[in-house]
Amino acid sequence: MTRMDLQGRRVLITGGSAGLGRAIAEAALGRGADVTVIARGAARLAEVARLGARVLAGDATDAAFMDASVRETQPDVLILNAGAPLAMGQIDELDFEDFSTNWNVDAKAGLAGIQAAFRAPMATGSRVLVMSSGAAMVLSAAHIPNQSLYLSGGYVGAKYMLWFMAHNANAVSERRGLGIHFQVLAPTQLMAGTQLGLNVASAYADLKGVTPEAYLQQRYGPPLTPSHLGEQVADILSDPRYRSGVAYGLTVGGAPVGLDT
């Protein structure tokens, strides 16, 4: 592996103006990639433009906008990271609109992005990375108890759906002989370093009467930071060892962990 492997490669990132998307954009820019960021708000887009990214203002759930963005930028790598803040609440309290927030943003944007990759189509050898969450492992990982997610409503389902959609897209890519490889990113910890992460941590921390930072320390131990996560995503894109797997956990340990193939 060489840290130059992203040099000149075109990387398109949805939700790249803040939080994890911005950290991934910064890591890719740091390795010489030609980065384009999609988000809605102009002020934060202007900030990433100043870092050297190109920016496209628009909604990642808008299929026509995503089609046009992929056709225009012809990315070697498309990162479908955009996600909505969670409507925090118990299942006996949330109405359907709040419960399905992340289905209507995260999963819908995932579908729009995956379909844009197929419609363009992206080139043979290109990659599409879908942002899921370690929360999607709740029923298969003993260290994630159900009770730790009981305020997170439909979020877990949306993130599990995105994971499945990547596998589904690989099956279609193979059937159509397109050579586009779909992969899943699963941050294994909640991060207070993003607005979304802070909001979720605050909701659980309030119930325990502790600070969000204390809650996260108790729940996970040492914190995973967005910049550390951004570097791991850049490693996944640079290091041939991560070329063919499907899902990778992003961890505080430093190296992405293969979750499924």
Considering only residues 129, 191, 216, 247, which one is a binding residue for ligand NAP as defined by CB under 6 A?
A: 191
* DSSP designation for 230: H
Considering only residues 53, 55, 60, 112, which one is a binding residue for ligand NAP as defined by CB under 6 A?
A: 60
Helix count (H) and strand count (E) of the chain? 10, 8
3-class secondary structure, 189: coil
Sign of CA dihedral 97, 82, 252, 157: positive
**Binding of residue 137 to ligand NAP (CB under 6 A):** no
**Binding of residue 218 to ligand NAP (CB under 6 A):** no
Using CB under 6 A as the binding rule, the residues of this chain from 1 to 20 that contact ligand NAP are 14-15, 17-20
Using CB under 6 A as the binding rule, the residues of this chain from 161 to 190 that contact ligand NAP are 187, 190
Which of these is catalytic: 150, 204, 242, 248?
A: 150
**Contacts for 164 with CB less than 8 Å, ≥ 6 apart:** none
**Cα first-last separation, the chain:** 21
**Binding of residue 251 to ligand NAP (CB under 6 A):** no
**Binding of residue 219 to ligand NAP (CB under 6 A):** no
**Binding of residue 196 to ligand NAP (CB under 6 A):** yes
Alpha carbon of residue 183 to chain centroid: 10
| Residue 79: burial class (beta carbons within 10 Å; 0-12, 13-18, 19+) | buried
Clarify whether 155 is annotated catalytic. no
Active site residues: 150
Binding site for ligand NAP (CB under 6 A): 14-15, 17-21, 38-41, 44, 59-61, 81-85, 105-106, 109, 131, 133, 187, 190-191, 194-197
